[in-house]
Chains A and B, each alone.
Chain A
């Protein structure tokens, strides 16, 4: 019997991911699943998948899952959690899902202090539909719908969702992390665990924003994408904790 130091977590099915080579969704799925395993919460976990590249998340997590309409996962999660207050209800959303079409739903679920946990994957672009501008796309970033580079005049400036939600008194834990290197990954896992613990303790709404790469639509190799994230995204989207149950930090 081989002793394994590292293997697939129980809360992830043994199914190949459809994600592009080097896409961080795979890493983030695994971290979420590891945390669910470590918290012993697999039996009462209910995940809500978004519309976006991770629309098929319901095929990967080994727990009850919902597919939600674009942007509506926090509302779906509200309905689920109100029926099963003891369940561990989490949404997993991209930047179009959460920060564009779903902006009202996330703001209000957070403001109401819904006892759910949101994993917000921010890769500054719309992946599934082939690389259009996202609310979190950077100034000057070239995308399919900002072919001349995002201009402030006309497209405005990117939204810092974590900072924005941290101003809502109803939120209990807001953190921004990244998974583009092992050190960041370790901190990301701690934040995700904390966010789930906030729910399990019945404290309130928690969100972890995970900066991610999109090698395919950024037009770079996975390794180059990790560097681009470090150089370009982190200065605009600083990593750290913005809200704890004790209050706003920044």
Chain B
């Protein structure tokens, strides 16, 4: 089952991934990382199809896609 894994400390909350995801399962979370950004995260891993568009859109290589 593919799923996105977020390195939250590197996320700058730019939200580009939220628009790239064709399944609309990425959103900016409510928590802060230590840099003061609200990191993105996956709202429903079961729906992930492993297209990697979120990871590819991310300018900071925050997301890995694990099988």
Residues in A lying within 8 Å of B, measured CB to CB: 2-8, 12, 16-17, 19-27, 30, 181-182, 185, 215, 221-223, 226
With A182-B53, A185-B56 already in contact, the answer to whether A6 and B63 are too (CB < 8 A) is yes
* Residue contact B56 to A182, C-beta cutoff 8 Å: yes
* Residue contact A5 to B52, C-beta cutoff 8 Å: yes
Docked complex Cα distance between A22 and B65 (Å): 20
Q: Name B55's closest neighbour in chain A (CB-CB).
A: A6
Q: Name B66's closest neighbour in chain A (CB-CB).
A: A2
For window 19-66 of B, CB contacts with A under 8 Å fall at 19-20, 37, 50, 52-53, 55-61, 63-66
Q: Name B15's closest neighbour in chain A (CB-CB).
A: A223
Number of interchain pairs (Cβ within 8 Å): 72
B57 to chain A, nearest CB (A): 7
* Residue contact A26 to B58, C-beta cutoff 8 Å: yes
Q: Name B57's closest neighbour in chain A (CB-CB).
A: A182
* Residue contact B16 to A222, C-beta cutoff 8 Å: yes
* Residue contact B66 to A3, C-beta cutoff 8 Å: yes
Docked complex Cα distance between A222 and B14 (Å): 6
B22 to chain A, nearest CB (A): 9
* Residue contact A21 to B50, C-beta cutoff 8 Å: no
Docked complex Cα distance between A26 and B17 (Å): 13
* Residue contact B15 to A26, C-beta cutoff 8 Å: no
A225 to chain B, nearest CB (A): 9
B64 to chain A, nearest CB (A): 5
With A27-B59, A182-B57 already in contact, the answer to whether A22 and B15 are too (CB < 8 A) is yes
